[in-house]
Copies of this chain bind each other. A is one copy, B any other.
Amino acid sequence: MRELLGSLKIQIPEQLYVKDPDSSDLGRKIIETSIILIEDLGFESFTFKKLGTAIGSPESTIYRYFENKHKLLLYLISWYWAWLEYKVAFATANVNNCEDQLKNSIRVICETVTQDQNFSHVNEEVLQRIVISESSKAFLTKEIDAENKNGYFKNYKNLIERLVRIISGISSDFEQPRTLASTLLEANHLQKFFGVHMPSITDIDMKDENLINFMETLTLSILQNGAKRS
């Protein structure tokens, strides 16, 4: 994967930043450090002031890159979904059987992330934990309609679309491929969170297999059964 991605760059909607953080060392440091800090403090307690202190620059410097902390979060989340889409793309490339494509995708989506050497300034492992805990806060806002219109969630939709194509490849008359795809992505994160913090409302545990198995069964069952029913 290293060579394939060697010249690839994760594309983030331009509207999310003032100046591309991937265009300077300082920018990359902002990304790198903000990931650590948001994980540490939680997004509510995270501020540009604290980030500034952590990277040894004043708050005002960060405003050169991001309009506010909400957009920085959207940037990180967007990065995550784009990166996950690449991973799904590679996991399904040259796989002819659609069901296998779906299984591979679910595995990539549900497995706990480990550091990807291709993007040295992003700790994907920590980033995943941020997306689990914070991503829903990024869209469950009063501004969602305007932000959605502005294309802030483009990368998330791209991933959904890719999954929809795979789903439709398996069962072209299944009527709710988008509902299924978004349910899969969101339920995955929630269950991971419940597994750690509210174990009494889930049966999954720390091991990924458990969760992968559930998601696979859930998805394939509805595609077989659902076609008949819906």
User: Which residues of A pack against B, CB within 8 Å?
Assistant: 41-42, 44-45, 133-134, 136-137, 139-142, 144-145, 148, 153, 156-157, 160, 175-183, 186-187, 190-191, 193-194, 197-198, 200-204, 213-214, 217-218, 220-222, 224-226, 229-230
State which of B178, B222, B230 has its C-beta within 8 Å of the C-beta of A200.
Answer: B178
CB nearest to A45 among chain B residues: B142
Given contacts A41-B142, A182-B194, 18 further A-B contacts (CB under 8 A): A42-B142, A133-B140, A139-B197, A145-B197, A148-B197, A176-B202, A176-B214, A178-B202, A182-B190, A183-B183, A183-B190, A183-B191, A186-B190, A214-B230, A218-B222, A218-B226, A220-B229, A221-B224
**Quick check: A198 and B136 within 8 Å, CB to CB?**
no
**Quick check: B178 and A182 within 8 Å, CB to CB?**
no
**Quick check: B136 and A140 within 8 Å, CB to CB?**
yes
Q: Which residues of B contact A156 (CB under 8 A)?
A: 201
Whole-angstrom CA separation of A207 from B188 in the bound complex: 26
CB nearest to A222 among chain B residues: B221
